[in-house]
Copies of this chain bind each other. A is one copy, B any other.
Amino acid sequence: MKNVKLSIAMLAATILMVQGVASAEPVPTPKPETFIKWRQSAFTVYGWNTNRIKASLEGTYNKDDVIKGATVIAAVANTGMEKLFPPGTEKGKGWEATEAHADLFKNLKRFAELNANLAKEATELANVAHNGDQAAVKAQFGKMTKTCKTCHDDYKVKD
Residues of chain B within 8 A (CB-CB) of A37 are: 44
Tell me the minimal C-beta distance from A72 to chain B in angstroms: 5
Residues in chain B near residue A78, CB distance under 8 A: 68, 71
User: Which 7 A/B pairs are nearest by Cβ-Cβ distance?
Assistant: A41-B44, A75-B75, A41-B41, A27-B55, A38-B48, A95-B95, A72-B75
Please provide the chain A residues from 96 to 110 with a CB less than 8 Å away from any CB of chain B in the complex: 96
The size of the chain A interface, using a CB distance under 8 A, is 32
Q: Secondary structure of the A side of the interface?
A: helix
Inter-subunit contact B95/A59 (CB<8 Å): no
CB-based nearest B residue for A30:
B51
Report if A114 contacts B (CB, 8 A): no
Query: A27 with B72: in contact, given A42-B45, A45-B45 (CB under 8 Å)?
Result: no
